[in-house]
Amino acid sequence: MENTNHAQQPWPELDTWRFFNDLSDPVFIFDPKSLNVCQLNKSAIRLKERFEKDGVKQFDAEFLTGLLLVDLRAQIAQLSCREGDVFRFEVCHLDLQLDVILQMMCSSGSEPLLVGVFRDVSALADVDRMTNELVSTVSHELRSPLTAIKGAMGLILSGAAGNVSVKALQMVEIAQRNADRLILIINDILDLDKIKDGAMVFDNTEIELIETVNDSVEAIVGFRDRFDVQVDVDVKDEGLISNIDPNRIVQVLVNLLSNAIKFSPEGGRVTVQLKLHGQLNRISIMDNGEGIPVSDQKSIFGRFMQVGSKNRAATGGTGLGLSIVKAIVANQGGKISFESQEGVGSTFHVDLPAVVDYVAAKANKSGSE
Residue closer to ligand ADP, measured from CB, 103 or 255: 255
Binding mask 285-324 for ligand ADP (x = CB under 6 A): --x-xxxx-------x----xxxx------x-xxxxxx--
According to DSSP, residue 356 is labeled S
Assign 148 to helix, strand or coil: helix
Q: Please, what is the minimum distance in Å from the beta carbon of residue 86 to ligand ADP? A: 24
Binding mask 164-193 for ligand ADP (x = CB under 6 A): ------------------------------
Q: Please, what is the minimum distance in Å from the beta carbon of residue 256 to ligand ADP? A: 7
Q: Which of 264, 369, 280 has the alpha carbon at shortest distance from 329? A: 280
260 lies in the site for ligand ADP, by CB under 6 A: yes
Residues 216-255 that bind ligand ADP (CB under 6 A): 255
Residue closer to ligand ADP, measured from CB, 39 or 346: 346
The residue nearest ligand ADP at its CB is 317
DSSP track, 73-118: HHHHHT--SSTT-EEEEEEEETTEEEEEEEEEE--TTS--EEEEEE
Stretch that binds ligand ADP, among 10-18, 55-63, 189-197, 284-292 (CB under 6 A): 284-292
- Report CA 341 to chain centroid distance, whole Å: 18
Alpha carbon distances (Å) from 302 to 85, 175, 323: 23, 29, 6
Q: Which of 326, 363, 336, 304 has the alpha carbon at shortest distance from 128? A: 304
User: Angle, nearest 10°, between helix axes 246-262 and 209-219?
Assistant: 50
Q: Please, what is the minimum distance in Å from the beta carbon of residue 347 to ligand ADP? A: 8
Assign 6 to helix, strand or coil: coil
Residue closer to ligand ADP, measured from CB, 139 or 318: 318
Q: Which of 259, 284, 288, 332 binds ligand ADP (CB under 6 A)?
A: 259
Residues of the shown chain interacting with ligand ADP in the complex, contacts defined by CB under 6 A: 255, 259-260, 263, 287, 289-292, 300, 305-308, 315, 317-322, 346
